[in-house]
Amino acid sequence: MNQKFNEFIDIARKLNGIGIRPLLMGSVGLEEVTGRSWDAQDLDIHVPGDKRGWEVPAETSIHNWSEIVGIMNSMDYTLIDLHEHEFSKDGLSVEFGIIDTLPGFSGVKLENLETHRAGDVNYYLLNPEQYLRVYEASSKDSYRANQNNHKDLGKIEYLKQVHFHKETNA
């Protein structure tokens, strides 16, 4: 397991303690699913919140936000961007997103998320097909495309090959 994934598990354990089962998104999650390094730069963790997402004030869009801030502070993280729900510690950025925006954004249904376990920690992880849907939706989002210099396109091509290969061998 890589260091960023281990940090996610530590955060997820504390989130489980307040009744939250987080979804590991982004490159760290994709690395867990594919077994391939995607040069993850940060942790993207989705938790329950208002499905309207950006339409709601940042301080109220994520349920249990004050408890999450308390958890992150207890782990020596500093909130550096409320709008992005971004924390930082020792050069690692951890951003919280809203799991409830997933169906509207990518068509991935929450009831289809797979629960995973690492010891005593429960969390969600997308499967390759769901990751493909998320990255395809993200590639159409001009803000995300500009922020990521279109690096998601390589992930999309890889996931298409894996998904297509799986379907042709089924």
Q: What pLDDT score was predicted for residue 145?
A: 47
Amino acid symbol at 28: V
Per-residue model confidence as pLDDT tens digits over 97-116: 999 999 999 999 999 999 99
Residue 158 vs residue 91, higher pLDDT: 91
pTM over 0.75: yes
Cβ neighbourhood burial of 47 (10 Å; 0-12, 13-18, 19+): buried
Q: Which CATH class is domain 3-168?
A: alpha beta
Average pLDDT, the chain: 89
Average pLDDT on 148-163 reads: 71
- Residues 106 and 100 sit within 8 Å (Cβ to Cβ): no
Where do the domains of the chain lie? 3-168
> Within 13 Å, how many C-alpha atoms sit on residue 18's CB side?
17
Instruction: Mean pLDDT check: name the lowest of 94-108, 139-153, 155-169.
Output: 139-153
Per-residue model confidence as pLDDT tens digits over 55-71: 999 999 999 999 999 99
Q: What pLDDT score was predicted for residue 104?
A: 94
Q: What percent of the chain has pLDDT over 90?
A: 72
Q: What pLDDT score was predicted for residue 39?
A: 87
Model confidence band, residue 165 (pLDDT cutoffs 50, 70, 90): low
Give the containing element (helix H, strand E) for 162. helix 152-168
Residue positions counted in the chain: 170
- Residues 50 and 98 sit within 8 Å (Cβ to Cβ): yes
Tell me how far apart the alpha carbons of residues 127 and 163 are, in angstroms, rounded to a whole number.
10
